[in-house]
Structure 1
């Protein structure tokens, strides 16, 4: 009997663990076990019964076609197209570059301020500092808005199985580049103090500060840029529906993630924290203990996790 179970387990290794696949797996296992027991009753030996059951089973190609057809039949109509996924990833790469440059620009602004101050050009340093900070912050805000815009375009739409597989291939292909950018970024951040020691040998430690911020800016750029791109593939891998914001799931994503508990989760999100705020203000006004009543939010956060674990099953 264990031989038949192991055989069925092997057959289904390549299939995703969806409800349809698990149901088909259990049905096939039941049929094969019943047939096996019937052959034993007919006087067959254990090895003969197992061999006949397996030989009479249909080919794996037929099983694959049936399961893929059943899955395609149940796919929602609002699926994301492959071209849309590639457009999203392209825009994500551009936005990641802009966001990383903006953050690195803030570090470079500090380095420029310190460097020019060392050379006695404090006013020029301040001017360059504020101009660079203003540009960098503007770039961060703009690319942050672009992030949200690109996410909203695909929010709560179904991710077909072939896109899931394509995203996994793209992620694997980018993994080496991500590892290189992460390693170099971390190394540059760690080595950013080396210019201080270098210039300290010549009693000019302050000259090493601008180079320290330059190393930090390049390292931070590599870490953030690589991490954003690498994580963008997960948008099409980890969930059945595209999730723009983990804190505000769409109806389809909510249903897919929480099933029958989706309505409870939705109600909990809409009602719980407003009630907590009302309790906070009510308690604070009645007791006058504004300095301590903020602890209500700490306790509410802990209690929320408990309530969600009890009433909301993923």
Structure 2
């Protein structure tokens, strides 16, 4: 019956556009059908009945083929890639420019706290830009939709706010010695708002709901979840690297720990490897 299952699925894909993507999709469906057939046989069902049950549970293959084989707007992909590249380049430039206020205002002495505050402000903006650029950049030829762009803006705002939270302690603690508690309150307030925004953005992300129990709907659900897993992993790793750069700048210019601060990048690399391994094991 395994041969009959393959022949039946190949007949469904007879008019599908020839591509490696379609071949992989077809083989994935055949493998799933064979597994279901084996399970039914092992539970005591007859071969003919098991075959009919498996075939009946395939679902609308034409819809799946249509969704997988939709033409790619390469011109729009190129435009989005260019926009993401520009935003990324601008963000990296801002990281470098963020040192200018510190260097200029440091010569005035009493304005060095303002220079540090401006540095964190620019770094926060740069971080938001680079998070957004990487979140909406086309992946595997797939364009980001409006929902993805909205989530990207929300996440970039939240991450930027974590960096903005450093500004009150920098300004208040250096000028008003008796208001350390106020600076801490403002810092945790901003960080708390950023956390609320970030958690809401993650938890409000829609999940794929199967319309039936066919193999096509199961495959769509699996594909949707896999896309989310890869996107989440990539976003977390990007945030870790950005925060590492921010910490590196902050530690060196506030504490002058140039001799040991480079270890932050080693630690970040190890953490990213662990995160990647955890996601791969979860798959």
Q: Same fold (TM over 0.5)?
A: no
* TM-score, length basis structure 2: 0.30
- Look at both structures and tell me which one has the larger radius of gyration over its CA atoms: 1
Flag the structure with more relative contact order, 1 or 2, with Cα contacts below 8 A and sequence separation at least 6: 1
